[in-house]
Amino acid sequence: MRLSVCLLLVTLAICCYQANAVVCPALFSEILGFLFIDEPAFKLQLAKFNAPPEAVAAKLEVKKCIDQMSLEKRGPLEVALLKIVEKCNK
């Protein structure tokens, strides 16, 4: 549960920062992918950001924890993220 709260807070901070109130579609896609797609597909999604290998490895390690959550527990995270994006894109 703690990880999901941290993810929502970081997303809220990134998405709703006053200097840039519009959510980047690539970021939103990456966050939803982090929650719902399998690891090989997520690696491909991360490749477009040209992140250092250490950063990708760290992200995939956290993804392994998220993948252990049931889909029922990930669903409310998606709903909250969608509400954040709606609010920030107004």
Claim: this prediction has a pTM higher than 0.85: no
Query: What is the model's pLDDT at position 15?
Result: 63
Over the range 59-88, which residues count as b (16 or more CB within 10 Å of their CB) and which as e? beeebeebbeeeeeebeebeebbeebbeeb
Query: What is the model's pLDDT at position 54?
Result: 92
Angle between the N-to-C axes of helices 2-15 and 71-88, in degrees from 0 to 180, rounded to the nearest 10: 20
First-to-final CA distance of the chain:
29
List, for the chain, all residue ranges whose pLDDT scores fall below the cut of 50.
none
Tell me the per-residue pLDDT of 13-24, one tens digit each, with 9 for 90 and over: 666 655 555 677
> How many whole angstroms separate alpha carbon 53 and alpha carbon 82?
29
Query: What is the model's pLDDT at position 16?
Result: 60
Q: Could you tell me the domains of the chain?
A: 21-89 (1.10.210.10)
- Tokens standing for residue 17: 């920062």
Query: What is the model's pLDDT at position 29?
Result: 84
Query: What is the model's pLDDT at position 53?
Result: 92
